[in-house]
Amino acid sequence: CGVFGVWAPKRDVARLTYFGLRALQHRGQESAGIAVGDGGTVMVRKDLGLCGQVFSNADLSTLTGQLAVGHVRYGTAGAKSWEAAQPHLSTINEVIIALAHNGTLVNTDELRRQLIELGVPFLSNSDSEVATKLIGYFTQRTGHLREGIRKTMELVRGGYAMTLINESSLYAFRDPHGIRPLVLGKLVDGGLDQADLKAAAKLPSLEESTEANEPVPEVTTAGGWVVASETCALDIVGAEYVRDIRPGEILRINDEGLVSEQGVPAAEKPANCIFEQVYFARPDSIMNGKSVYACRYDMGRMLAIESPVNADMVIGVPDSGMPPAEGFAHESGIRYGEGLIKNRYVARTFIEPTQELRAMGVRMKLNPLKDNIEGKRIVVIDDSIVRGTTMVQLVKMLRGAGAKEIHVRINSPEVIWPCFYGIDTDVQQQLISANKTVDEICEFIGADSLAFLSVEGLLKCMPEGGYCDACFTGVYPVAIPDSFGRDKFM
Q: Which residues are catalytic?
A: 1
- Judged by CB under 6 A, the chain residues 320 through 339 that form the site for ligand 5GP are 320
Which residue, 181 or 337, is less far from ligand SF4 as judged by CB?
Answer: 181
Pick the binder of ligand 5GP from 86, 128, 169, 425 (CB under 6 A).
425
Q: How far is the CB of 344 from ligand SF4 (least distance, A)?
A: 26
Asked if 279 touches ligand 5GP (CB under 6 A), the answer is: yes
Q: How far is the CB of 276 from ligand SF4 (least distance, A)?
A: 7
Asked if 383 touches ligand 5GP (CB under 6 A), the answer is: yes
Between CA 332 and CA 415 the distance in angstroms is: 25
Asked if 388 touches ligand 5GP (CB under 6 A), the answer is: yes
Asked if 317 touches ligand 5GP (CB under 6 A), the answer is: yes
Pick the binder of ligand 5GP from 1, 251, 386, 447 (CB under 6 A).
386
Q: How far is the CB of 424 from ligand SF4 (least distance, A)?
A: 9
- Selection from ligand 5GP, ligand SF4, none that 384 binds (CB < 5 to 8 A by kind) is ligand 5GP
**Residues interacting with ligand SF4, by CB under 6 A?**
159, 179, 273-275, 419, 421, 423, 468-471
Pick the binder of ligand 5GP from 24, 299, 334, 385 (CB under 6 A).
385
- Selection from ligand SF4, ligand 5GP, none that 468 binds (CB < 5 to 8 A by kind) is ligand SF4
Which residue, 264 or 271, is less far from ligand 5GP as judged by CB?
Answer: 271
Asked if 389 touches ligand 5GP (CB under 6 A), the answer is: yes
175 is in an annotated binding site: no
232 is in an annotated binding site: no
- Selection from ligand SF4, ligand 5GP, none that 421 binds (CB < 5 to 8 A by kind) is ligand SF4
382 is in an annotated binding site: yes
Stretch that binds ligand 5GP, among 13-21, 119-127, 296-304, 347-355 (CB under 6 A): 347-355
3-state secondary structure the chain: CEEEEEECCCCCHHHHHHHHHHHCHHHCCCEEEEEEECCCCEEEEEEECCHHHHCCHHHHHHCCCCEEEEEEECCCCCCCCCCCCCCEEEEECCEEEEEEEEEEECCHHHHHHHHHHCCCCCCCCCHHHHHHHHHHHHHHHHCCHHHHHHHHHHHCCEEEEEEEECCCCEEEEECCCCCCCCEEEEECCCCCCHHHHHHHHCCCCCCCCCCCCCCEEEECCCCEEEEECCCHHHHHHCEEEEEECCCCEEEEEECCEEEEEECCCCCCCCCEECHHHHHHCCCCCEECCEEHHHHHHHHHHHHHHHCCCCCCEEEECCCCCHHHHHHHHHHHCCEECCCEEECCCCCCHHHCCCHHHHHHHHHHHEEECHHHHCCCEEEEEECCCCCCHHHHHHHHHHHHCCCCEEEEEECCCCCCCCCCCCCCCCCHHHCHHHHCCHHHHHHHHCCCEEEECCHHHHHHCCCCCCEECHHHHCCCCCCCCHHHCHHHHC
Which residue, 171 or 420, is less far from ligand SF4 as judged by CB?
Answer: 420
Q: How far is the CB of 281 from ligand 5GP (least distance, A)?
A: 12
461 is in an annotated binding site: no
Binding region for Mg(2+): 320, 382-383
Binding region for [4Fe-4S] cluster: 273, 419, 468, 471
Q: Which residues bind ligand 5GP (CB under 6 A)?
A: 279, 317, 320, 348, 350-351, 382-391, 423-425
